[in-house]
Amino acid sequence: MNLEDKNVLYHFLKDDCSEEERNQLHTWLVNDLDENDTNELLKSIWDKTPDESKETLDKESILKGVKAAIQAEEVKAESKKISVPPRRKANPSVLVVFSILLLTLAGGFFFTDRAPVAVKTPVARQITKTTSKGQRSSILLRDGSKVTLNSESTITYDDSFGLNNRRIQLDGEAFFEVTKNKNLPFTVTSTHLVTRALGTSFNVRDYEDEENASIALATGEVKVNRTDVSLKDAKVILSPNEQITVDKTSKEWLKTIFNPDYVLSWKENNLYFNDMYLSDIIKTLERWYNVNITVVGKGVEKLKYEGTGKFERQSLENILGSLGYTMGFESSVNEKQIIIHLTN
């Protein structure tokens, strides 16, 4: 037995030999294997078998099988008595013993001597659309749905969107106009809320730096819940002109009728302030105009804009002038640096 014969056998046990090598192995086992080769192979395979595999072998059953096989071979050989040309030939009983042990031990050799084959699972490619401060954009999705993205907002979805799913991740604020597809629900997940619809239009606002998250329904019907609760047990079902607001700290829900002019005004590049604290107005203005606003003075957290103010495509200077007149502050603009001086 030479090194090449050993290598072919080991390749066979590892299930990575060619058809030619299989035929070569078969010919060698039938015609050229003698008792010394058999003993050498058995010892080699036994040495390569891990100890834990040896310990699990049923030695009694193997021994009984070997004895029975030897007896059967002896009876068969005696009954045939066929004359064959003298040649170098394996002892039949030894060949049977080799076959039994080979099959028994090869299991341990096969599963431990070969590295597992990793199954490659295709990874869906993520598509991300982002707006910076001072930007707004409109995005047409593959299924025909339209997303209007507010300033400093991001949506993420798989490249398979519209084929086997309609799931979107949102950070910030966006208005969704959803095409109807009863087989593929349209799901929007933000940090604190998850919304599911079939065909409808709704607004989701969930900025990390704000105390509340909200969903306002314009048309159709949606199911709404927190991200940590299943939609099967949806806490709220909204009808048109209804809005749900969630306190991020207390997790309390407030369902109200909303004014579309206020909630959806940003889509038309308009700003609408209604009973808002100055600190919240500042966050909106910073996003909208891509500026940094600094407040000089005390009491900004208590200063509130009472009433309603709608600003249609107004410059930042005009808005600050109007708010300052009502709330009692002065402001200075130096490119993207704004300073508000509290006078009260």
pLDDT one-digit tens code per residue, 95-143: 544 554 554 444 444 444 445 555 555 667 899 999 999 999 999 999 9
- Are the CB atoms for 265 and 288 separated by under 8 Å? no
pLDDT at 30: 57
Residue 72's CB: how many other CB atoms inside 10 A?
Answer: 13
User: How many residues are given for the chain?
Assistant: 344
pLDDT at 299: 78
pLDDT at 250: 86
Instruction: Inform me whether the pLDDT recorded for 77 exceeds 60.
Output: no
Tokens standing for 215? 């969903």
Residues 64-83 have a mean pLDDT of 49
Confirm or reject CATH 1.20.140.10 for domain 269-342, answering yes or no.
Answer: no
pLDDT at 42: 56
Q: CATH says 126-263 is which class? A: mainly beta
Instruction: Inform me whether the pLDDT recorded for 148 exceeds 90.
Output: yes
CA angle 175, 176, 179 (to 5 degrees): 160
Dump pLDDT digits (tens) for 31-67.
Answer: 655 656 666 665 665 565 555 545 545 555 555 554 5
Residues 165-174 have a mean pLDDT of 96
Residues of the chain with CATH 3.55.50.30: 269-342
Dump pLDDT digits (tens) for 275-316.
Answer: 889 999 999 999 999 999 998 888 788 888 888 888 888 899
Global confidence as pTM: 0.61
Instruction: Inform me whether the pLDDT recorded for 83 exceeds 50.
Output: no
Dist CA 246 CA 47 (whole Å): 68
CA distances from 65 to 20, 41, 100 (A): 31, 19, 8
Q: Which pairing describes strands 146-149 and 137-140: parallel, antiparallel, or unpaired?
A: antiparallel
pLDDT at 328: 86
Exposed/middle/buried for 298, CB within 10 Å: 0-12, 13-18, 19+?
A: exposed
pLDDT at 99: 54
Q: Where are the alpha helices (DSSP H) in the chain?
A: 3-13, 19-27, 35-48, 51-55, 59-80, 92-113, 260-263, 278-289, 316-327
Instruction: Inform me whether the pLDDT recorded for 340 exceeds 70.
Output: yes
DSSP string, 260-272: HHHHTGGGGTEEE
Residues 230-249 have a mean pLDDT of 81
Residues whose CB is less than 8 angstroms from the CB of residue 313 and which lie 6 or more positions away in sequence, other chains included: 269, 270
Select, from the ranges 71-85, 170-184, 298-312, the one with the highest average predicted confidence (pLDDT). Answer: 170-184
Residues 152-166 have a mean pLDDT of 94
Dist CA 322 CA 341 (whole Å): 14
Q: Higher-confidence residue: 54 or 181?
A: 181
Facing residues of 225 across strands?
194
pLDDT at 41: 60
Tokens standing for 316? 């930042």
Picking from 139-143, 168-172, 212-216, 245-249, which range would have the lowest pLDDT averaged per residue? 245-249
Residues of the chain with CATH 2.60.120.1440: 126-263
Dist CA 243 CA 176 (whole Å): 15
Q: Higher-confidence residue: 100 or 208?
A: 208
Q: Which long-range contacts (CB under 8 A, 24 or more apart) does 66-73 make?
A: 66/96, 66/97, 66/100, 66/101, 69/93, 69/96, 69/97, 69/100, 70/96, 70/97, 72/96
